[in-house]
Amino acid sequence: MRVDGRENKQLRPVHIETHFIKHAEGSVLITVGDTKVICTASIDDKVPPFMRGGGKGWITAEYAMLPRATEQRNVRESSKGKLSGRTMEIQRLIGRVLRSVVDLEKIGEKTIWIDCDVIQADGGTRTASITGAFVAMVLAFSKLMEQNKICELPVTDFLAATSVGIDPQNGVILDLNYVEDSQAKVDMNVVMTGSGRFVEIQGTGEEATFSRNELHELLETAELGIRQLIDVQKQVLGHLAEQIQNRSTESVEKL
Amino acid sequence: MRVDGRENKQLRPVHIETHFIKHAEGSVLITVGDTKVICTASIDDKVPPFMRGGGKGWITAEYAMLPRATEQRNVRESSKGKLSGRTMEIQRLIGRVLRSVVDLEKIGEKTIWIDCDVIQADGGTRTASITGAFVAMVLAFSKLMEQNKICELPVTDFLAATSVGIDPQNGVILDLNYVEDSQAKVDMNVVMTGSGRFVEIQGTGEEATFSRNELHELLETAELGIRQLIDVQKQVLGHLAEQIQNRSTESVEKL
Amino acid sequence: MRVDGRENKQLRPVHIETHFIKHAEGSVLITVGDTKVICTASIDDKVPPFMRGGGKGWITAEYAMLPRATEQRNVRESSKGKLSGRTMEIQRLIGRVLRSVVDLEKIGEKTIWIDCDVIQADGGTRTASITGAFVAMVLAFSKLMEQNKICELPVTDFLAATSVGIDPQNGVILDLNYVEDSQAKVDMNVVMTGSGRFVEIQGTGEEATFSRNELHELLETAELGIRQLIDVQKQVLGHLAEQIQNRSTESVEKL
Amino acid sequence: MRVDGRENKQLRPVHIETHFIKHAEGSVLITVGDTKVICTASIDDKVPPFMRGGGKGWITAEYAMLPRATEQRNVRESSKGKLSGRTMEIQRLIGRVLRSVVDLEKIGEKTIWIDCDVIQADGGTRTASITGAFVAMVLAFSKLMEQNKICELPVTDFLAATSVGIDPQNGVILDLNYVEDSQAKVDMNVVMTGSGRFVEIQGTGEEATFSRNELHELLETAELGIRQLIDVQKQVLGHLAEQIQNRSTESVEKL
Amino acid sequence: MRVDGRENKQLRPVHIETHFIKHAEGSVLITVGDTKVICTASIDDKVPPFMRGGGKGWITAEYAMLPRATEQRNVRESSKGKLSGRTMEIQRLIGRVLRSVVDLEKIGEKTIWIDCDVIQADGGTRTASITGAFVAMVLAFSKLMEQNKICELPVTDFLAATSVGIDPQNGVILDLNYVEDSQAKVDMNVVMTGSGRFVEIQGTGEEATFSRNELHELLETAELGIRQLIDVQKQVLGHLAEQIQNRSTESVEKL
Amino acid sequence: MRVDGRENKQLRPVHIETHFIKHAEGSVLITVGDTKVICTASIDDKVPPFMRGGGKGWITAEYAMLPRATEQRNVRESSKGKLSGRTMEIQRLIGRVLRSVVDLEKIGEKTIWIDCDVIQADGGTRTASITGAFVAMVLAFSKLMEQNKICELPVTDFLAATSVGIDPQNGVILDLNYVEDSQAKVDMNVVMTGSGRFVEIQGTGEEATFSRNELHELLETAELGIRQLIDVQKQVLGHLAEQIQNRSTESVEKL
């Protein structure tokens, strides 16, 4: 049995509270077990210099932890004066995977700023950030639609992420908490779309390798969890979810 | 009447939720109207280099806003690579006023790190931070007592803060929200103890001056608000509040 | 008696030498006891980005100490690569209080850069900076008038600052030197205008609080000192002082 | 046919010149087509603070490009004063994968610094860096053995990396050059050991997703290339390669 | 005899390999004994802000060492986040001396970026950088001529540099390697033109002074070495060397 | 005739006011025409890490300009967060040349911090800094002697610096002011000892070269000026000057 009594292939309780921050165009508080992340999506009416004049939009993400999100207080990156490599890696990941399910041509020269701020951490902060940020982003697009700035949701599919790992006792497990993460032989973050396509597969573990068979089982387990996460997204997004579903079905049929 | 329908000398609704972050020794979410700040107090078993060997403790504070705490997204200070003057000024203020009600000799060579992270801003973020941080700090000290690391609360008095200002229409008003703050002729932050002594009086306004009479009225109004804030602190602190009250009474008698 | 033999409510000798730096539009060397500060005012024909197009001017200040202005050599902030919180706090204060006595609409889209460089420090460097910077600023405006770039002095009142404190032996004292500052129970910087209005009241002390009666006495003592400082300003400004006086009287009458 | 006339599953010419820099404990110049990287391994007789006293060693990597390694001159990160997210991501990857094939307990409290400096870039600089750095690291360990500081090679398996992608015209291709990389629908870096286990699978592409079948084909193609890269490593490492091979076989048998 | 068996006034073997980096407009690998520097010249179609609109071009240089160019690994300046004083001093020197032999009016508003990256260091890296950078710069100008962007070589003379020093045993010596450099009483870098005029004479030594007679002998020895370095430049530049020679002769005749 | 009416080989008026800053162990205000520099020497009872345990002392220098020392206000390097190349070059120069006339073994493991702060600039700030810093340093050593921390002046010779240049109208000129400096074809800073030995010869000019004959005349002119500067140093140093003179004579006799 796992440290918190879960089955190997069981997610922690997941909750997404929408409209959590009143100023943001889109915002959620996502809770995955004891991991809590505030995700906001902000709309900026310009794109970065390297994209100007191209007529396309851009999505970029920033990720941070409050100093006491963790067991030990971590020093603020604003005090250190620079971002850690870990932070950079995570925020690049979040931006990249969100861009893979958005039709950037449809939003014109706008930037969507995604901010993921971890207020409490217990493993899986980057995957919770992706899952929550997707919802915040859809809400921001929905606001653009209300303002008649775009005429359809530019989102081509759902997107969510979870972690999977190989536990010394339990074998392949889903959605690792902090303790499990520290003990896992292999630890992998998987990002998938609603139609079951992979977006990123990232080993983040240390000093461990895995065979093709292990990879197969890890990916199947991840898919199981991601389907449930997307179900939660669908519930909170309501009619917006239907629009994405339709669009996604069309895309898949075209392939 | 004020923009949000309040009386001139009426606080916004105040709520302090304790134990908001599970990892921190002390933590609260303080809500003052639409202003929301997570305050945590963390204990570090050493003091900064300039205090080593002196046998005394230290209290230091850091303050930040989430990028989308505000109407317009503000750039992260970690991305800019440095703290703004405003941030520095506020975090120095928070640390300084908390130190004024703590007997640092009683805590030994420990540092209490106070973190105030504004997740939603609508005026008065620095005063809400002080009022909330005081509670988080007391909770952290209480944890040290439970662990038998200190034998009494080293807190000599309550401490809370609010803003007062002179509104072009309404005259002297209490607890300004963002809109009022932008329009005020004079804007002043006042920090007081439970026994009614001033800790700091800070004009933060721009291009405005005030007479001695105005000062008198501003301070009286501030005192009114701070008494209510301290009542809220007392409620959430329960028996810890009594210990502070006793200690404070002793101190006042000694004067 | 005080460490340097002064009466409790006696300023140290004050001297303001104008036109100290030949290149600056306005400059002074202000000497308050052993504290010496070079204050220059420079005119820049543009305003910061956030003010462009508004037709108003801006005043901003920078403050620094030479490394050996102090008893112990302090590390240059240019070597550390960042400004300390103390420096930020002081330079924001200087800019803010100067702006409170200038009619920024009258100067058009210009920035007045105030530089206060402490070459020798013995307490009260921020208040000496304000008192000296006011004179340097008036001289710079006078130069703009000579060049027919503005047609009247845009200064609405005099402005000076001093410190007051509560000394364990002597009670309330005026204009603390470094030794007194280190020993004071309470230490407060007060900035006032020529017509006796407060601009800022800042407690900068550590671990001390003060009652309403103490506040009253501190402010009265500060006013006494500031009146004398403004007398010195008037002497060195000559006919420019008269123009400010006239303007200030008009403003007060309007109130 | 591919832009440079290669078959879909053909590597570019690979060459590894050992002992390229005389001062380094281990060094190579690796050439993969027009991509050229100098990889050095340096031995430092201490570990980072967080590992002190643990008795284990550490491997860390840094990656940079000369300004004119690329078609357009890129600004030096030393001039910008900070590392880009891309650089951080790559150097964390290099360090992490090398640690997965080294028995850090065997080297004692030493740090192996890997430096990968791209002097000419034509796609695949991070995978060439990994393949070359592995050899430089083995050479450095061999030097430690010569000096009797360690008594066996602490390397548990070979390690190499390549990129695979899906080209709009050609389908799945191996070892993308810069032009192919810019046009690929999917682009993936794969790091594998000599015994065919995966270390990292990283999609780095933008705006593209892939199905399980595509993943399967991409990984098979990558394995093909990596086997050839490991053959080149074996040739240049000579008798050191045999020691690694023996050790690797033992490990596999134990599994 | 010198540590490496050379005569006192003998250069180390010098080799300049042109077109070393395929992307750069001009590039060389210069080898002086065990010192190896990659020099590239890149053309940018704009000048720095302070020169805009003047119709003249600009030449600027950057200098760096790979971490393991030296006996002990040196920390990357990109990791430290700032350039050392030594680096700044050297890159300013390289830019300044190259500008002394180029007619900047002839190149229009273009910037030539010179990058000197030391891949292996054994003394004399700044003088090797100058000697190599001159060739890379001429090659870049030649490319501009091929593209009909300029109609003649804007180079008025050859330029090369070497070091001279006073060795405790051997007296005045030419082209010091690292060991000699560490032991020299005086160490001087001399930059000269093809027509024998001085561009810079820089003592870089520590704690040593020299008489007028010693200066005379040092400069004569430097000239001897520089003539040979310019011969090597002429060989690798071929017909471009002739154009410079003609131009230089004209200039000298005009004097 | 020169712009300020001087003869070609005439210095500007030079004045050195000692004990200018009360806290520093040694300090002067040096005035050379309109150039004014505060030079202080501070004693620190430790040496930098790379020198610890060697028993020798160290001398290091920092140089800065007040923002309004110049005709146009220059941005503070503390605000920019980094030192310019020019500043680095100058402060390295000052430290290096002072070390050449001090017997570092005699002072034990102490660091002498030299701070040169230009309060008004009119050309020749680096040479004035050197000339003034020498006096401040001697005064600081004299203080160490008074405190019986060293038993003789560890200074082996006088040291001063001036600039020389070739003016388009006037030919070789001594001690260039800002206007002359901007117009000079060649501009050279020369640092010499009291016994007439060269310490540094630095061309700092742009786009100019000089022949051996010109060098000869420049150095002779510099020597003329430096002899006078050393006479001023001798006057202000009084009996300390005699001790240096005796020591210098001994050293020269030994050669």
Q: Would you say residue A203 has pLDDT above 80?
A: no
B180 vs chain A: nearest CA distance in angstroms? Answer: 17
**F86 known member of a binding site:** yes
**Structural domain contains residue E119:** yes
Other residues' Cβ atoms within 10 Å of the Cβ of residue E189? 22
Contact between residue D167 and residue D66 where contact means Cβ atoms under 8 Å apart: no
What separation in angstroms does the CA of F13 have from each of D45, E148, F177? 58, 55, 12
Here the ipTM equals: 0.94
Residues constituting chain A = 255
Q: What is the mean pLDDT of residues A142-162?
A: 95
Return the pLDDT at E105: 94
Cβ atoms of A114 and A91 closer than 8 Å:
no
A254 CB within 8 Å of a chain D CB:
no
Binding partners of A (≥3 Cβ pairs within 8 A): B, D
Judged by a CB distance cut-off of 8 A, whether residue F48 touches chain C is no
Output the DSSP codes for B46-95: S--GGGTTS---EEEEEEEE-GGGSSSPPPPHHHHTS--HHHHHHHHHHH
CB-count burial class (<10 Å; 0-12, 13-18, 19+) for F217? middle
SS (H, E, C) B50-61: HHCCCCCCEEEE
Q: Which of B85, B92, B193 sits opposite C209 (nearest CB)?
A: B193
Contact check, Cβ <8 Å, F209/E193: yes
Mutate to test the interface with C, among F39, F66, F68, F74 (most CBs of C within 10 A): F68
pLDDT of residue D205: 59
Measured distance CA(C234)–CA(C227) in Å, rounded: 11
* Interface-testing mutation among A209, A224, A226, with chain D (most D C-beta atoms within 10 A): A209
Residue E121 with chain D: CB contacts under 8 Å: 23
Q: Does F212 show up as a binding residue in the annotation?
A: no
Rg of the Cα atoms in chain B:
18
- Does A97 have pLDDT greater than 70? yes
pLDDT at E174: 98
Q: Where are the alpha helices (DSSP H) in chain D?
A: 77-80, 85-99, 125-146, 178-183, 212-237, 239-254
F88 close to F64: Cβ distance less than 8 angstroms: no
Q: Check: CB of residue C220 under 8 Å from CB of residue C193.
A: no
**Within-domain flag for B169:** yes
Cα-only R_g, chain C: 18
Spell out which residues of chain C touch residue F71, defining contact as CB-CB under 8 Å.
Answer: 23
Which residue of E69, E115, E121 is in closest CB contact with D68? E115
Q: Is residue D234 situated within a structural domain?
A: yes
The arithmetic mean of pLDDT across residues A174-195, rounded, is 94
Determine the length of chain F: 255
Residues 6+ apart with CB under 8 A from B218: B164, B165, B166, B172, B186, B188, B190, B210
- The answer to whether residue C93 sits within a structural domain is yes
What are C238's two structure tokens? Answer: 């000559």
> Pairing mode, if any, of strands D111-120 and D58-65?
parallel
Beta carbons within 8 Å of F243's beta carbon, 6+ residues apart:
F152, F153, F155
Closest by Cα among D202, D13, D181 to D94: D202
Q: Do D198 and A208 touch (CB under 8 A)?
A: no
Which pLDDT band, with edges at 50, 70 and 90, does E227 fall under?
very high
For residues C186 and C201, is the Cβ–Cβ distance under 8 A? no
Give me the residue label for tokens 């921001």: A140
Pick the residue of F198, F221, F252 with the most E CBs within 10 A to test the interface with E by mutation. F198
* C51 close contact with B: CB closer than 8 A: no
Give residue A186's Cα distance to chain centre: 20
Q: What pLDDT does A204 receive?
A: 64
Angle, helices F125-146 vs F212-237, to 10°: value is: 40
In a domain, E5, yes or no: no
Q: Tokens for E87?
A: 């680096």
pLDDT confidence of residue D79: 86
The DSSP bridge pattern shows strands E186-193 and E159-167 to be: antiparallel
Instruction: For residue D82, give the amino acid letter.
Output: K
Parallel/antiparallel/unpaired status of strands E111-120 and E58-65: parallel
* Residue E248 pLDDT grade (very low, low, confident, very high; cuts 50, 70, 90): confident
Q: What is chain C's length?
A: 255
The whole-angstrom separation of Cα D96 and Cα D201 is: 13
Q: What is the pLDDT of residue C254?
A: 66
Q: How many separate helices (H) and strands (E) can be counted in chain A?
A: 6, 9
Share of chain B above pLDDT 70, in %: 97
Residue A98 has pLDDT above 70, yes or no: yes
* Nearest-angstrom CA–CA distance, B89 and B94: 9
Is the minimum CB–CB distance between E199 and chain F shorter than 8 Å?
yes
Q: Given the structure tokens 């690329």, which residue do they identify? A: D70
Contacts of B199 in chain C (CB under 8 A): 203, 209
Q: CA F132, CA F124: separation in Å to the nearest integer?
A: 12
Least Cα separation, residue D140 to chain A (angstroms) = 20
Q: What share of chain E is helix, strand, coil (3-state, %, to 5)?
A: 40, 25, 35
Determine the pLDDT at residue C82.
86
Kindly state whether residue B7 falls inside one of the protein's structural domains: no
Q: List residues bridging with E198 in a β-sheet.
A: E192, F210
Q: Under 8 Å CB-to-CB from E72, ≥6 apart: which residues?
A: none
> What CATH number corresponds to the domain at position C150?
3.30.230.70
pLDDT exceeding 90 applies to what percent of chain E? 86
Contact B21 A119 (CB under 8 A): yes
Structure tokens belonging to residue B239: 């028996």
Biggest CA pair distance of chain B: 56
Identity of the residue in B27, B71, B83 whose CB atom sits nearest the CB atom of A78: B83
Contact assessment for residue E37 and residue E117, using Cβ atoms and an 8 Å cutoff = yes
- pLDDT above 70 for B214: yes
Q: Output phi, psi for F32, to 5 deg.
A: -125, 100
* CA–CA min distance F165, chain E (Å): 14
The sign of the torsion formed by the CA atoms of A147, A152, A154, A157 equals: positive
**Nearest-5° Cα angle at C155, C149 to C158:** 150
Flag whether pLDDT at C229 surpasses 90.
Answer: yes
Domain that includes residue D138, residue range = 14-253
Mean pLDDT by 10-residue block, N- to C-terminus, for chain D (255 residues)?
95 98 97 98 94 94 97 92 91 95 94 98 97 98 95 95 95 96 91 94 75 94 98 97 88 68
pLDDT of residue F98: 96
- Number of CB pairs, chain B paired with chain C, less than 8 A apart: 85
Main-chain phi, psi angles of E166, to 5 degrees: -110, 115
Contact between B175 and B190 (Cβ < 8 Å): no
D159 domain-assigned: yes
Residue B193 has pLDDT above 90, yes or no: yes
Tokens coding D161: 């990396």
Question: Is F124 a known ligand-binding residue?
Answer: yes
The torsion of the CA quartet E194, E199, E204, E205, rounded to 10 degrees, works out to: 70
Please list, in sequence order, all residues whose beta carbon lies within 8 angstroms of the beta carbon of residue C13, skipping any fewer than 6 positions away: C31, C32, C33
What span, in angstroms and rounded, lies between the C-alpha atoms of A69 and F228?
67
Other Cβ atoms within 10 Å of F3 Cβ, number: 14
Residue to test with chain B: of C77, C158, C207, most B Cβ within 10 A? C207
Question: pLDDT: is E196 or C253 the higher one?
Answer: E196
Is D213 inside a domain boundary?
Answer: yes
Q: Given the structure tokens 């105040």, which residue do they identify?
A: B14
Q: Are D175 and D124 in contact (CB under 8 A)?
A: yes
- Distance CA(E148)–CA(B81), nearest Å, equals 44
Can you give the three-state secondary structure of chain F, one letter per residue?
CCCCCCCCCCCCCEEEEECCCCCCCEEEEEEECCEEEEEEEEEECCCCHHHCCCCCCEEEEEEEECHHHCCCCCCCHHHHCCCCHHHHHHHHHHHHHHHCCECHHHHCCCEEEEEEEEEECCCCHHHHHHHHHHHHHHHHHHHHHHCCCCCCCCECCCEEEEEEEEECCCEEEECCCHHHHHHCCEEEEEEEECCCCEEEEEECCCCCCECHHHHHHHHHHHHHHHHHHHHHHHHHHCHHHHHHHHHHHHHHHHC
Asked if D71 and E23 come within 8 Å (Cβ–Cβ), the reply is yes
Nearest to E203 by CA among F199, F88, F58: F199
pLDDT digits (tens, 9 = 90+) for B41-94: 999 999 999 889 999 999 999 999 999 999 999 999 988 888 999 999 999 999
Question: Structural domain tally of chain F?
Answer: 1
pLDDT at D204: 64
- Alpha carbon distances (Å) from B5 to B2, B10, B189: 5, 10, 22
Nearest to F28 by CA among F128, F132, F141: F132
CB F17 within 8 A of CB F39: no
Positions of chain F with pLDDT lower than 70, given as ranges: 204-207, 252, 254-255
Percent of chain A with pLDDT over 70: 97
Q: Is C255 strand, coil or helix?
A: coil
Is pLDDT at E50 greater than 90 in this prediction? no
The fraction of chain B above a pLDDT of 90, given in percent, is 87
Sign of the Cα torsion B100, B101, B103, B109 reads negative
> Mean pLDDT throughout E164-193?
94
Q: Which residues of E touch F104 (CB under 8 A)?
A: 207
